[in-house]
Amino acid sequence: MRIELTVNGARRSDEVEPRLLLVHYLRERCGLRAANVGCDTTSCGACTVLVNGRSVKSCTMLAVQAAGQEITTAEGLAAGGEMHPVQEAFRQQHGLQCGFCTPGMVMAATGLLAENPHPTETEVREGLEGNFCRCTGYHNIVRAVLAAAETMSA
């Protein structure tokens, strides 16, 4: 069936089968491969994108459910060649190592800060409970989100 939606500000119209997962639609049909598939139980969050500004695990959403919605991926955060403050903070704080969880982590953090612009460390950790990282031990990820919060509220 045909769906129409907006991805990173661009309108799209695609023919999809009902069971196509949003994450695969983004990766294979839109060529936006930053979002990754890390599990099959909606646990790890590596596939996190924003749907109408809210963080969602795109592996647990059908592309057909996204019809008429606005999707933002990590590729859509950077504007005009400049990284988004959350992305820049991840770099400055060494909040990524292998990078596999990173786009999802960045989108979850962006969604978190949109809802809570001044989180405490505990609120950051709880806000990222749906995003797994095996490399960093979360220490620098938390610092990155707190640093981004400061930059964005300045």
Partner 1 sequence: MIPAPFEYQAAESARHALDLLARHGDDAKVLAGGHSLLPMMKLRLAVPSVVIDIGRVAELAGIRADGDDLVIGATTCHADVAASGLVRSQTPLLAYAAAQVGDPQIRHRGTIGGSLAHADPAADLPMALVALGGFMEIAGPGGQRTVSADDFFAGFFETSLEPDELLTAVRVPRRPGPDWGYQKFVRRANDWAIVGVAAAGGRIALANMGPVPLRATAAEEALAGGASAADAAALAAEGTEPAEDIHADRAYRQHLARVLTRRALEHQTG
Partner 2 sequence: MSILGTRVVRTEDPGFLTTGAVYTDDVVDERLAGACHVFFVRSPIAHARITAVDTSAAREAPGVIAVFTGADLADLAPLRPPMPDLVDGRMAQPLLARDVVRYVGEPVAVVVTEDPYQGEDAAELVSADYDPLPAVVDMTAAADDPPALLFPEAGTNVTATFGDAAALQPGLFDGCEVVVSRTIVNQRVAPAPMETRAAAAAWGDDGRLTAWIPNQGAQGTKGALAAMLALDPSSLRIITPDVGGAFGAKFGADPEHAVVCWVARQLGRPARWSETRTENMVAMTHGRAQLQTITIGGWRDGTVTAYRLEILQDSGAYPRFGAFLPALTILMAPGPYAIGRAEAVARSVVTNTTPVGAYRGAGRPEATAAVERAIDLFAAEIGRDPAEVRRKNLLPRFTEPHRTAFGAVYDSGDYVTALDAALDAAGYASLREEQARRRDAGDVTQLGIGLASYVEITGGGAESGAPRENATVEVHPDGSATILTGTSPHGQGHATVWAMLASEELGIPVDRITVKWGDTDLIPEGGGTGGSRSLQQGGVAVQQASRELLDVARERAAAMLEANPADLVFEPERSAFEVAGDPDAAVPLATLAAEERLVVRTVFIAPGATFPFGTHVAVVDVDTETGKVVLRRVITVDDAGTVINPLLAEGQRHGGIAQGAAQAFLEEVIYDADGNPLTATFADYPFLSATEVPSFELADMATPTSYNPLGVKGIGEAGTIGATPAVQNAIIDALAHLGVRHIDMPASPQRVWQALQDVPAGKDA
Residue 1's binding partner among partner 1, partner 2, none (Cβ under 5 to 8 angstroms by kind) is partner 1
Cα separation, 132 vs 141, in Å, equals 11
In a 10 Å sphere around its CB, with 0-12 CB exposed, 13-18 middle and 19+ buried, how is residue 97 labelled?
A: middle
Q: Which is nearer to partner 1, 68 or 94 (CB)?
A: 68
Angle at 46 between CA 125 and CA 34, to 5 degrees: 125
Cα separation, 100 vs 37, in Å, equals 9
- Does residue 118 belong to the site contacting partner 2 (CB under 8 A)? no
- Does residue 40 belong to the site contacting partner 2 (CB under 8 A)? yes
Residues in contact with partner 1 by the rule CB under 8 A:
1, 17-19, 21, 37, 40-43, 45, 48, 51, 54-57, 59-62, 64-65, 68, 108, 111-112, 115, 126-127, 129-131
Q: Which is nearer to partner 2, 68 or 137 (CB)?
A: 137
Q: Are 53 and 108 in contact (CB under 8 A)?
A: no
Candidate residues 51, 90, 111, 119; the one interacting with partner 2 per rule CB under 8 A: 90
